[in-house]
């Protein structure tokens, strides 16, 4: 028998660590927090007449975070009977995270998922701080 199910079963038998196909809820919470940091950083440019652009950025982030959150709530309500509580984050991070090509450690998967969002949010925050300091000095 070939296919993804036999590969996943092999991973489960070959290790004593937690094997997961979903991200830990803390990773999703970090994505939401970084998205909020991005919106706050965008609003750091509010001194200019850019109200429409800020509104568009805020609505885009709201939709990008809101739609998956709503879908997760719907899924949770329909699958609540058989669902177990999530593992501790430390156990999840040390366990295996199954991907299409094989598996990763949980902490590697979290870094790969969070890195693009964190880069944009932190980069925008640094850009806003530099812009405010240069405006104060030139002021």
Q: What is the pLDDT of residue 122?
A: 95
Residue range 50-93, pLDDT digits in tens: 677 788 888 988 898 899 889 888 877 777 666 667 789 999 99
| Contact between residue 65 and residue 54 where contact means Cβ atoms under 8 Å apart | no
Look at residue 96 and give its three-state secondary structure: strand
In the numeric block, which tokens belong to residue 133?
Answer: 């300091």
Residue 14 has pLDDT above 70, yes or no: no
> How many percent of the chain have pLDDT more than 70?
81
Q: Which two tokens stand for residue 83?
A: 């669902």
Closest CA to 20 of 32, 31, 11: 11
106-118 pLDDT, tens digit per residue, is 999 999 999 999 9
Nearest to 112 by CA among 125, 93, 126, 87: 93
- pLDDT category at 11 given cuts 50, 70, 90 is very low
| Segments making up each domain of the chain, as ranges | 4-138
Least Cα distance to 12 among 96, 87, 82 occurs for 96
In this prediction the pTM is: 0.77
Instruction: Using the predicted structure, report yes or no on whether residue 125 has a pLDDT greater than 90.
Output: yes
What is the rounded average pLDDT for all residues in the chain? 82
The full DSSP string for 37-73 is: HHHHHHHTTTTSS-HHHHHHHHHHHHHHHHHHHHHHH
């Amino acid at each position: 028998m070939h296919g993804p199910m036999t590969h996943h079963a092999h991973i489960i038998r070959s290790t004593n660590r937690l094997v997961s196909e979903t991200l830990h809820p803390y990773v999703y919470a970090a994505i939401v927090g970084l998205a909020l940091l991005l919106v706050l950083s965008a609003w750091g440019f509010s001194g200019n007449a850019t109200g429409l652009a800020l509104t568009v950025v805020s609505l885009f982030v709201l939709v990008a975070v809101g739609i998956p959150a709503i879908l997760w709530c719907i899924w949770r309500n329909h699958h609540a009977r058989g669902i177990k509580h999530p593992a501790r984050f430390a156990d999840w991070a040390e366990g295996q995270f199954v991907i299409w090509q094989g598996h990763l450690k949980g902490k590697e998967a979290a870094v790969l998922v969070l890195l693009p969002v964190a880069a944009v949010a932190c980069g925008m925050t640094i850009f806003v701080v530099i812009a405010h300091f240069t405006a104060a000095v030139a002021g």
